[in-house]
Structure 1
Amino acid sequence: MSMEADYIERMKRLMNWEASRQAPPEGFPHLPDMPAGRYTSQEYYDLEQQYLWKKTWLFAAHIDEVPDPGCFMKWENIGDPIIIIHGMDGEVRAFYNTCRHRGAPVVTEEKGKAPRLMCGYHNWTYKTDGSLIGVPEKQDFGPEFDMSCRSLIPVRCERLGNLIFVNFDSEAMPLKQWLGPVWDEWEEFGFDRIKLAARHSFDLECNWKVAMEANMEVYHVPFIHPETVAPLVDSKRNVNTIYPNGHARMLAPPPQTTDREHVRAVDSPPEWQQIDTVGEFGRTCTQSYTMFPNWVSPLSNYFVPPLIFWPTGLNTTRLELVTMALDWGDGPAPDLWTVPDDSQPNGRAMSPIILEDTQFGEMIQKSMESDGFKSVPLSYQEARIYSFHQTCDKMIGLNRVPEHLAVDQVIGEDWVYPNDPRVAEMERAEAAE
C-alpha cells in the first residue's frame, strides 16, 4: 500500500517545519534522564533476557536459507536452540532443537536437507511437521507410551513475504498485528520478491542498546558521518514517527542541493533491479525503520538492508549485517554493509559507514561503566530512543522493573501514530505567515 498523496505532501511540509522550529513541539513531554544501569546493570540485562526477548517477534531467516521442502537450519541467536524447517508440505515452521526423549539436539548441522529429522542419540525420528513417527524398540516403553504426545515443541513462526520471524511466546499477537501500520507501509518494498544477497555477523564490545541506538537518531550524523551520510541527509529536516509496539521511523530528505534518487542511480550497477513499487520517499529520501526490538533498516528502491543487534552478554553484541534486493542477475551479489577483507575469518569487513557508527561502542561501554556515568538526558531529536526504552520496560512488565532502573512512561499515545500534534502546530504557523 503506497503512501497517499496528501500524506506525502503533509510530511514534506513537516520536514520544512522541523527545520524552522526553535524549540521542541508544543506539548511534547520533557524526557527525564534515563538511568545509567539500563546499559551496565546485570539486573536489567537479566530482565531483558527473561521477558523482552521471549515475547517479541525476531527476524530469524530468509526463505533463501531454507529454499526447498526438507531444508532446515539451526538458529540460536537468543540462546534457546531452535530449528527452522521448510516442511515437506511447503509450510515453514520452527521447533525447539530438543528431542522429546532425553533432550539431545535433533539436528547438529548448521544447515541441511532431509525428509525426516532424526536425533543421533537414539534415532527418534520426526516428520518435518514436528510429529514423532519413529522410536526404536518402542515396545520397551510400554502400552501407555503415546507418540502423538511427543512431537517436537513448536515455536511461533510467521512470515512477512520472504522473511521468517519467530516468537517464543505462544500467546503473542500475530506478526501482522505486531507491526501494525508498518506492515502496510512495507508493502511497497517487495518483501515477497526480495532475495537474500548477503548476511554477515560481527562481534562488538558493548551493550546491544549502545550499538543499536547509534542508528536511531540523526543528531550525530554531522559529527560522525561528515563525508558519508551527512552529504545525503538533511538532519535539520528529519521527521521522526513513533508507531505502536515500539516501532519507529526516521524520514530525512537530502540536502536541497542533492538529488538522492540520482545519486542512488549513479551508485548502483546497471544489473541491479529497482523495486518498481517503491514510492516517492523510498526513492528520494533516507527512510529508516526501527522494528522493535532489534531491527534497524533504511528502505529504498534498491535495498532492504537490516542491521540486527543480538545481545551476547551484558557488554557484548553480535551485529548481523544483511542485504536483500531483487535479482541481481549474473553480477556479484550486492552487499551494502561489508567490503572484502582477506584478513577477516569470513573474508568480509564492516563498511566505512558501519565502522563510523560502531567505532565508539567499546569506548562508550567502558566510559559508561565508570563512576562518571550517572544518567542519559535525551533531546526531542532522540525521542525514538526514549520511546524504545519505554517499550522495553512495558515488554518486561512495568511492575518488574526496579524503580532505580525504570524510565518514566512520559511519551503517551497522543504522540504515537496516527496521532501527531505537530501537524496542528505546523498548520497554525502556516496560517500565521
Structure 2
Amino acid sequence: MMDAEEVARLKALMEWEGRRTAPPQGFPALPDMPAGRYTSPEYFALEMEHVFRKSWLFAGHMDEIPERGCWMRWHNAGDPIVIVHGMDGKVRAFHNTCRHRGAPVVTEDRGKSSRLMCGYHNWTYKTDGSLVGVPERRDFPEDFDLSCRGLLPVRCELFGKVIFVNFDQGAMPLLDWMGPLAREWEEFAFDRIRLAARHSFDLKCNWKVAMEANMEVYHVPFIHPTTVAPLVDSTRNLNTLYPNGHARMLAPPPRQTDREHVRAIDSPPGWQPIATVGELGRSCTQSYTLFPNWVSPLSNYFVPPLLFWPTSLGTTRLELVTMALDWGDAPAPDLWTVPDAAQPNGRQMSRIILEDTQFGEAIQHSMQGSAFRSVPLSYQEARIYAFHQSLDRMIGEANVPAHLRVEQVIGPEWVWPNDPRAAQMVREASQARDAAE
C-alpha cells in the first residue's frame, strides 16, 4: 500500500499536470509510429512469437478450479492448455496434448477428476502431469519410459487468487515481471476477491487498436461525455511508466464533481467495499496496463480487467472480467456487461465498452487504406508510445524490420522509480515563492 508521502506526491503531481502549459521539460518529442504496426502480417507474426509466447498472461481465477482435481481449458494465446488444481493442492498448467498421438487430454471447458485421460487411446495422467497409464503396455518396447512422457508443462503462477501462465520456461517469476505493481496491488485484496463475471466478445480490429482506446484519456471528453467524463479530469491525468512495459494512469474527478455521488462506473448499492484500499483508489480513477494485454481500473469495489486477445491481424477477442469481494446472496456484480434482451441469458457489452469499441472496425478498415501512413502521439498518449517501445524490446529490436520499428526515445529516466516531473514541480514552486517575495 502507498504511504502518505507517496500519496501526497502523486496528488501534487496531478495538480501540476493540470497547470502545465507544455509537456514536461526534457520529455522527448515522440516520432510518428509506422502504420504497418497495425496492418503488417510480418509484425503480427513477431508479436505472436515473441510477445504472447514470452509474457505472463491472465488465464483465470481459482473460483474456476476451486477444488483439488478441478481443471479448465484455456486457449486464448494459441496453444491449447489445461490448468489443473492438483490433488496435492498445487495449481499447474500443461499443454492439452496427449504425448501419444496429439489428441487433447480434456475436451470440455471444465471438469473434475483425480486423473486426466485422453479419450483417444486412454493414456492416463495424474494431476501433476505424470503419465501413469498406457493400455496394452505389452505392445510397447520393454524400455518404453513413461517417466519422460508426461504432459508438457506451461509456467503457471498465482497472484492472490488470479492465475497467470507463460509459455516461456525460462521467463522471470511473475512477481519479478510485475515489479512495483505487485506492491501497489496488495491493497486490492487479490487474495480475497472472487470471480463474479467473465464474458468474451469478438471485435473486427487489431488488438492494439482495441486496447489503446483504454490507454489514454485524451478521448474521454469526446467519446464518454456522460459516462466516464463526470469521473475523470483528463487535464489532471498523471501517467506513470514501469519496467517491463507496465503503466498506470491516475486521474481525479473534475473539481465540480462529488465522486461519492457519481456511479457511472462505480459500484451500485450493495457491493462490498475493499476496506484495505487507500485514498487514491477511493477518490481517483486509476487504471493499470499489465503488459502485454491487460488494462484495468482498480478501486475500492472491484478489480475488472479487460483482456485483449489477438485472434488474427484484424480481429480481437475482448474478454471482460469482474472480480470483487463476496457478494453473498445478491446477484453477482458485472461491471462491463448487461443483459441482452435478444438472447435468453445472454449478455452484451455495457455502454462504456460500446463507446470504446464503436470505431474499431471502421478504424481498422481505414488503416488498411493508402492514406494511413503513420501515427503521431502526444505527451498525454505517451503510455501508448512506451507500450510500443516495450513490444519491440520484447520482440528484439534487431528482429523488427526498420520500416516497422519505433525509436526508443523514452529512456529509463522516465520509467519508475525515476520521474523528472517531480523535480520540475519543485523547481517551479520554488520559483513562484521567490517571485512572490
TM-score (normalised: structure 1): 0.98
Please identify, of 337-346 and 71-80, the stretch whose mean Cα deviation from structure 2 is larger: 337-346
Q: Which residue of 1 aligns with 2:12?
A: 13
Question: Is 1:423 equivalent to 2:422 in the alignment?
Answer: yes
Q: Write out per-residue CA displacement over residues 210-229 of structure 1, whole angstroms, 9 at most, x where no aligned residue.
A: 00000000000011111111
CA contact (8 A) 1:195 1:325 kept: yes
Partner of 1:107: 106
Q: What fraction of aligned residue pairs are identical, expressed as a percent?
A: 74
SS in 1 for 2:50: helix
Q: CA deviation at 1:342?
A: 3.1
Instruction: Describe how 1:49-88 pairs up with structure 2 within 5 A.
Output: 49-88=48-87
Match of 1:292 in 2: 291
Query: Residues 305-339 of structure 1: CA distance to partner in whole angstroms, max 9, x if unpaired?
Result: 00000000000000000000001111111100001
Distance, in Å, in 1 between the alignment partners of 2:265 and 2:369 is: 46
Native 8 Å contact 1:17 1:426 kept in 2: yes
Q: Does 1:134 align with 2:133?
A: yes
User: Structure 1 residue 177 and structure 2 residue 200: aligned?
Assistant: no
* 8 A contact 2:337–2:347 mirrored in 1: yes
Deviation at 1:371, TM superposition (A): 0.4
One-letter amino acid of the counterpart of residue 181, structure 1: P
Note if contact 2:204-2:316 (Cα within 8 Å) is conserved in structure 1.
yes
Contact 1:130 1:153 in 2 (8 A): yes
- 2:214 counterpart of 1:206: no
Which AA in structure 2 matches 1:238? N
Alpha-carbon distance, 1:432 to partner: 1.2
* Cα deviations by residue, 1:125-157 (Å, 9 ceiling, x for unpaired): 000000000011112111110110111000000
**1:168 paired to 2:167:** yes
- Kept in 2, the 8 Å contact 1:246–1:387? The answer is yes
Aligned partners of 1:260 and 1:283 also within 8 Å: no
Q: Distance in 2 between matches of 1:343 and 1:68?
A: 35
Shift of 1:79: 1.3
| Secondary structure at 2:49 match in 1 | helix
State the one-letter code of the partner of 2:41: Q
**How many Å separate the matches in 1 of 2:160 and 2:40?**
38
Corresponding residue for residue 275 of structure 2: 276
Instruction: Tell me the distance in 1 between the aligned counterparts of 2:166 and 2:303.
Output: 22
Q: For the structure 1 residues 184 and 266, does the alpha-carbon distance in structure 2 shift closer, same or farther, using more than 3 Å as the test?
A: closer
4+ long deviations beyond 4 Å: 264-267
Distance (Å, rounded) in 2 between the aligned partners of 1:27 and 1:267:
37
Distance 1:346 1:203, change over 3 A: farther
* Cα contact 1:205–1:365 (8 A) shared by 2: yes
Q: CA deviation at 1:4?
A: 1.0
**Alignment-mate amino acid for residue 110 of structure 2:** K
* 1:240 partner SS: strand
Does residue 1:400 correspond to 2:399, yes or no? yes
SS in 2 for 1:328: coil
- Aligned match of 1:147: 146
Which secondary structure does the structure 2 equivalent of 1:232 belong to?
Answer: coil
Mean Cα displacement is larger for which, 342-351 or 159-168? 342-351
Equivalent residue letter for 2:240: T
Give the C-alpha shift of residue 271 in structure 1.
3.0
**Separation (CA, whole Å) in 2 of partners of 1:184 and 1:248:** 14
How far the C-alpha of 1:110 sits from its partner, in A, is 1.1
Shift of 1:264: 4.9
User: Equivalences for 1:27-66 in 2 at 5 Å?
Assistant: 27-66=26-65
User: What is the 5 A alignment of 1:363-378?
Assistant: 363-378=362-377
Query: Counterpart of 2:379 in structure 1: which amino acid?
Result: Y
Specify the alignment match of 2:191 in structure 1.
192
Task: Determine the C-alpha separation between the residues in 1 that align with 2:144 and 2:123.
Answer: 14
Q: SS of the residue aligned with 2:71?
A: strand
Label 1:126 to 1:268 Cα distance change in 2 as closer, same or farther (>3 A): same
Residues 88 and 128, structure 1, Cα contact 8 Å, conserved in 2: yes
For 1:190, the aligned partner's letter is A
What SS class does the counterpart of residue 230 from structure 1 fall into? coil
CA 1:268–1:212: 2 relative to 1, 3 Å? closer
Question: Do 2:236 and 2:251's aligned partners in 1 also have CA atoms closer than 8 Å?
Answer: yes
Contact kept? 1:272, 1:329, Cα under 8 Å: no
CA contact (8 A) 1:290 1:297 kept: yes
How far did 1:45 drift? 0.4
| Post-superposition offset of 1:278 | 0.2
What SS class does the counterpart of residue 399 from structure 1 fall into? Answer: helix
Structure 1 counterpart of 2:121, one-letter code: H
The separation in 1 between residues aligned to 2:430 and 2:178, in whole angstroms, is 35
CA distance in 2, matches of 1:357, 1:282: 23
Letter in 2 for 1:245: N
Q: Which runs of 5+ in 1 are unaligned?
A: none
Q: Work out whether residues 310 and 319 of structure 1, in 8 Å CA contact, stay in contact via their aligned partners in 2.
A: yes
| C-alpha distance in 2 between matches for 1:37 and 1:344 | 38
The 8 Å contact of residues 227 and 264 in structure 2, kept in 1 or not, is answered as no
Give the total of aligned pairs: 432
Aligned-partner residue type, residue 93 of structure 1: R
- Name the aligned partner's letter for residue 415 of structure 1: W
Tell me how far apart the structure 1 counterparts of residues 22 and 231 of structure 2 sit (CA, whole Å): 25
What amino acid maps onto 1:417 in structure 2?
W
Mapped to 2, the partners of 1:416 and 1:338 lie a distance apart of 34
Residue matched to 2:435: none
Instruction: State the distance in 1 between where 2:113 and 2:367 align.
Output: 48
> For 2:172 and 2:267, how far apart are their aligned partners in 1?
39
> Is contact 2:228–2:264 with CA below 8 Å preserved after alignment?
no
Quick check: 1:271–1:329 contact (8 Å CA) kept in 2?
A: no
Q: Match of 1:204, as an amino acid?
A: L
> Does the 8 Å contact 2:230/2:262 carry over to 1?
no
Q: Is the 8 A contact 2:228 2:265 kept in 1?
A: no
Cα distance 1:65–1:24, how it changes in 2: closer, same or farther (>3 A)? same
